[in-house]
A and B are shown apart, each in its own frame.
Chain A
């Protein structure tokens, strides 16, 4: 019951934040979708970090370290510290500037304009939505599982079928209801503020869990000594990870460059300078979250109770190692804090994804095809809110079908986004890239994705490698070759587009075409 009270208090705090954010809402579409470009350095850092880190940062990192050892940090975390920030520095800041200058709200608006093609938007839109939805469902199902396991025994009579824990339909309803409420009323500002709180909560929860668990195991040295005696292979990479797998994993973090919800967060920045703190602190935050969890996962392989039995019994469900360690080695209050931390990690991605999909349906489909003039700010916000309600309802309904198979899709979603990274990078840095090249890149990425996904047994083979490397490497290379090859074989973009995005350094600002911002 203590766990439930702490988690409920945390959810209540999010609702209060949403209510405060609503008081700051000016009523314009720009304010609703982009917080009027008002987010400063600290909130930008926390919101982007919270959005890019999912529950995997806490429970998945512990679980992977439990199964494969310390190599998981280098493969997933330290690569992200380099590659995420490279994307923020070389892509994010420039997209922020382009988006602010030309008034874009969504990625599809940018691509349509950059490649002078409406149809490209129509092709890209379903691809992005199809890649976001499984990613979103993974978070929702994970949240349901966490709440169910941490509240087990709280309601033994009411929910006997779930051993007294809150059933998924109820926890999902509460989580979706809380996220919907603050995003519905407060828009992007509420999402950014909530993400800031959520990032604080999951970082603090992870560090406290680390301190409490290491103390219970007799200190850092005693905990590691036990691993050295029983599972020394977990303290090296050995054969658990191949060199090529380790190397090719570096392409996965490039996926953030194509996440539509991260694109939207970039555009909320008050200025380019607001990115500076994110650029320096992101790798350090990754270290603070991941390193303790990886060590807990490694310790969990060998930690025993006073009676000599393993704390994490063999055959425990994957990714439950952290919850088991906290439950058996610490207090219920810490269990509640960890529960809130895991929910925070999940919800900080979930809110941005819900909000982003609502923004995309509003701006890329309805407003785009029915005419910008037909929708004033009030109608656009109303439309977005309706879409957000619809998307949350659909996601909730899908989660009730309990599609456990979406968990296997996680890495495949990231790979798909990373496969499209050459497209966004070329759109910023290469004048010569053409819309035909963009089509080719999207189609080839999709085709390779489907072929490799089928070859992996539709994701069943979690350790699937192609040519000894992560499938993302093949997708990335094929996408890049298609983009460059077809662009060079087709006519260059119009001079107007070249001048718009790559104006001559000598040209005056007055020579740039007058622009109407979609969000203005």
Chain B
């Protein structure tokens, strides 16, 4: 599996783990003030940023700039 496909797989996994039914009714407070259901999704936002950072590195359409300038084909080639 290429790194690009791994990134796409990670995005699909990220979409699945958004549905955190395991914390749905969990009343635990982290650090004494942060409900775990909210903390999970705050962490999820950070995780999303991390996955997108990896997407920039491994799934970026490398020749998109040259396509935009009109001297290349449709951009499909990722940076590997």
Q: Please tell me if A495 contacts chain B, counting CB pairs below 8 Å.
A: no
Query: In the complex, given contacts A236-B26, A280-B56, what are 11 additional A-B residue pairs having Cβ atoms less than 8 angstroms apart?
Result: A77-B41, A79-B18, A81-B49, A97-B67, A97-B75, A223-B33, A236-B35, A280-B49, A280-B52, A281-B49, A283-B45
Q: Which A residues lie at the B interface, using CB under 8 A?
A: 70-71, 73-74, 77-79, 81-82, 85-86, 89, 93-94, 96-98, 100-101, 220-221, 223-225, 228, 232, 235-238, 243, 246-247, 250, 271-273, 276, 279-284, 286-287, 291, 294-295, 298, 501-505, 507, 509, 512, 515
Query: B residues within 8 A CB of A298?
Result: 35
Q: Please tell me if B79 contacts chain A, counting CB pairs below 8 Å.
A: no
Determine the distance from Cα of A247 to Cα of B61 in the docked complex, in whole angstroms. Answer: 30
Determine the distance from Cα of A512 to Cα of B44 in the docked complex, in whole angstroms. Answer: 44
- Given contacts A221-B32, A224-B29, are A283 and B48 in contact (CB under 8 A)? yes
When the two chains form their complex, are residues B45 and A284 in contact, meaning their CB atoms are under 8 A apart? yes
Which listed residue (A220, A250, A279, A287) contacts B42, Cβ 8 A? A287
Residue among A77, A81, A284 with max Cβ neighbours from chain B (10 Å): A81
21 contacts between A and B (CB under 8 A): A70-B35, A78-B41, A78-B45, A82-B11, A82-B15, A85-B48, A93-B64, A97-B67, A97-B68, A100-B68, A224-B35, A225-B32, A228-B27, A235-B29, A237-B37, A282-B49, A294-B38, A503-B74, A504-B73, A509-B70, A512-B70
- Given contacts A78-B48, A220-B33, A223-B33, are A70 and B38 in contact (CB under 8 A)? yes
- Given contacts A82-B15, A283-B48, are A235 and B35 in contact (CB under 8 A)? yes
Query: A residues within 8 A CB of B38?
Result: 70, 73, 291, 294-295
Query: A residues within 8 A CB of B75?
Result: 94, 97
Residue among A247, A280, A284 with max Cβ neighbours from chain B (10 Å): A280
* Closest B residue to A273 using CB positions: B65
Query: B residues within 8 A CB of A221?
Result: 31-33
Chain B interfacial residues counted at CB < 8 A: 44
Determine the distance from Cα of A248 to Cα of B31 in the docked complex, in whole angstroms. Answer: 31
When the two chains form their complex, are residues A81 and B44 in contact, meaning their CB atoms are under 8 A apart? yes
Query: A residues within 8 A CB of B26?
Result: 236
When the two chains form their complex, are residues B52 and A283 in contact, meaning their CB atoms are under 8 A apart? yes
Q: Which B residues lie at the A interface, using CB under 8 A?
A: 11, 14-15, 18-21, 24-27, 29, 31-35, 37-38, 40-42, 44-46, 48-49, 52-53, 55-56, 61, 64-65, 67-76
- Given contacts A81-B45, A94-B61, are A70 and B73 in contact (CB under 8 A)? no
When the two chains form their complex, are residues A232 and B44 in contact, meaning their CB atoms are under 8 A apart? no
- Given contacts A93-B64, A220-B33, A273-B65, are A250 and B41 in contact (CB under 8 A)? no
Determine the distance from Cα of A512 to Cα of B25 in the docked complex, in whole angstroms. Answer: 58
Residue among B19, B25, B37 with max Cβ neighbours from chain A (10 Å): B37
When the two chains form their complex, are residues B64 and A73 in contact, meaning their CB atoms are under 8 A apart? no
* Closest B residue to A278 using CB positions: B52
Determine the distance from Cα of A247 to Cα of B17 in the docked complex, in whole angstroms. Answer: 11
Query: A residues within 8 A CB of B49?
Result: 81, 280-284
When the two chains form their complex, are residues A235 and B27 in contact, meaning their CB atoms are under 8 A apart? yes
* Closest A residue to B25 using CB positions: A236
Determine the distance from Cα of A283 to Cα of B52 in the docked complex, in whole angstroms. Answer: 9
Determine the distance from Cα of A503 to Cα of B67 in the docked complex, in whole angstroms. Answer: 11
Min C-beta distance of B11 to chain A, whole Å? 7
Min C-beta distance of B14 to chain A, whole Å? 6
Residue among B15, B31, B64 with max Cβ neighbours from chain A (10 Å): B64
Determine the distance from Cα of A504 to Cα of B51 in the docked complex, in whole angstroms. Answer: 31
Determine the distance from Cα of A298 to Cα of B74 in the docked complex, in whole angstroms. Answer: 49
When the two chains form their complex, are residues B68 and A96 in contact, meaning their CB atoms are under 8 A apart? yes
- Given contacts A70-B35, A221-B32, A238-B25, are A101 and B15 in contact (CB under 8 A)? no
When the two chains form their complex, are residues B64 and A71 in contact, meaning their CB atoms are under 8 A apart? no
Min C-beta distance of A121 to chain B, whole Å? 23
- Given contacts A247-B19, A283-B45, are A101 and B52 in contact (CB under 8 A)? no
Which listed residue (A279, A295, A501) contacts B74, Cβ 8 A? A501
Please name the 5 residue pairs, one residue from A and one from B, whose CB atoms are nearest each other, closest first. A220-B33, A97-B68, A287-B45, A224-B33, A221-B32
Query: A residues within 8 A CB of B68?
Result: 96-98, 100-101, 271-272
* Closest B residue to A96 using CB positions: B68
* Closest A residue to B20 using CB positions: A74
Min C-beta distance of B28 to chain A, whole Å? 9
Determine the distance from Cα of A428 to Cα of B16 in the docked complex, in whole angstroms. Answer: 25
Determine the distance from Cα of A499 to Cα of B39 in the docked complex, in whole angstroms. Answer: 49
Determine the distance from Cα of A408 to Cα of B2 in the docked complex, in whole angstroms. Answer: 46
Determine the distance from Cα of A283 to Cα of B50 in the docked complex, in whole angstroms. Answer: 10
Determine the distance from Cα of A294 to Cα of B37 in the docked complex, in whole angstroms. Answer: 12
When the two chains form their complex, are residues B48 and A503 in contact, meaning their CB atoms are under 8 A apart? no
Query: A residues within 8 A CB of B73?
Result: 503-505, 507, 509
Determine the distance from Cα of A79 to Cα of B61 in the docked complex, in whole angstroms. Answer: 24
- Given contacts A74-B37, A237-B25, A283-B48, are A101 and B56 in contact (CB under 8 A)? no
Query: A residues within 8 A CB of B15?
Result: 82, 250
